[in-house]
Each structure stands twice: as C-alpha cells, then as structure tokens.
C-alpha cells in the first residue's frame, strides 16, 4: 500500500470536493504524515446536499473549514472490524479536539447521524470510510 490518505481519496473518484477543500484549508501535508488516521470522508454527493451559500462560507473562512475537515479525522486506525465492535452512542474524539457520536443499528454505522456508505478504503497511513453527509462540529 503506497498511496497515502490524500492520494487514495483522490484516486477513489468520489471525494473530489473533499480533496479540493483539504487543499483550500492547507491540510494536505497534515494527512500525508505517518498517522495512522481514520477519515470519515464525505462523498461528493454529501457536499452537494449543502446549500451553495454554506459551501461558499466555509471556503472563505480557512479556520472554520479546517475545523470542519479535522472533525472528520480520528487519530489512529479504526477499520470497520473495530468500529463495528464499538457501542451505539460511543463518543469518539477527533483530531479537531471535538467529539462525535457513533451509532450502530442493524449493522449500519453512523457518525453524528451520517451513514457510513463504504468502509475500509485502505491507505498507507490509515483508512477511509465514506459517509453521506458533511459533519459539522457543535
């Protein structure tokens, strides 16, 4: 496995908006480090659900954008085999310092209500799980 999280996300084809936002927030080099990291990555379709004004607002405020993007990243590697053993309602601390809540119901994992649609996209420095909604820290 030679591709890092950034390269793996770009190659997947459905994280173009996320890749662009990571560049805009100067987080590319952060997610190229050794890690490991677990990224709950919003798909392009997840970003499309946001109002254009909200996306424009995020892109204009680099610190806000950084906070939102880092809210999707966990320090450490959490493949689905680990996530699936966690309990419904478990709080997990993100790289941003804030927590989100895992949900597990009928073998469907959610993160703050966002559905994990694809798991275990392996990268050299971690793992990516695709989600259907952009998470915003409280």
* Structure tokens belonging to residue 126: 């971690």
Q: What is d(CA 33, CA 97) in angstroms, rounded to the nearest whole number?
A: 18
Q: Is it the case that residue 1 has pLDDT exceeding 60?
A: no
The residue whose two tokens read 């053993």 is 85
The CATH homologous superfamily for domain 5-131 is: FAS1 domain (2.30.180.10)
Q: What is d(CA 26, CA 122) in angstroms, rounded to the nearest whole number?
A: 23
Query: Who wins on pLDDT, 35 or 129?
Result: 129
Q: Is the bond preceding 46 in cis, omega lying within 30 degrees of 0?
A: no
Q: What is d(CA 11, CA 32) in angstroms, rounded to the nearest whole number?
A: 15
Mean pLDDT of 122-130: 95
pLDDT in tens, 69-119: 999 999 999 999 998 888 888 999 999 999 999 998 778 899 999 999 999
Query: Can you give the pTM of this predicted structure?
Result: 0.93
The residue whose two tokens read 């275990």 is 120
pLDDT in tens, 13-67: 999 999 989 998 999 988 888 889 999 999 999 999 999 888 888 888 999 999 9
């Amino acid at each position: 496995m030679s591709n890092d999280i950034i390269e793996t996300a770009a190659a997947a084809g459905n994280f173009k908006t996320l890749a662009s936002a990571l560049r805009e927030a100067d987080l590319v080099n952060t997610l190229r480090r050794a890690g490991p990291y677990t990224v709950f990555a919003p798909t392009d379709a997840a970003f499309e659900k946001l109002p254009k004004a909200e996306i424009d607002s995020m892109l204009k405020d680099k610190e806000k954008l950084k906070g939102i993007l880092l809210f999707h990243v966990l320090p450490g590697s959490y493949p689905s085999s680990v996530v699936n053993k966690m309990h419904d309602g478990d709080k997990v601390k993100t790289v941003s310092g804030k927590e989100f809540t895992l949900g597990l119901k009928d073998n469907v994992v959610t993160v703050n209500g966002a559905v994990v649609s694809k798991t275990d996209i392996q990268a050299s420095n971690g793992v990516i799980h695709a989600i259907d909604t952009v998470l915003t820290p409280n």
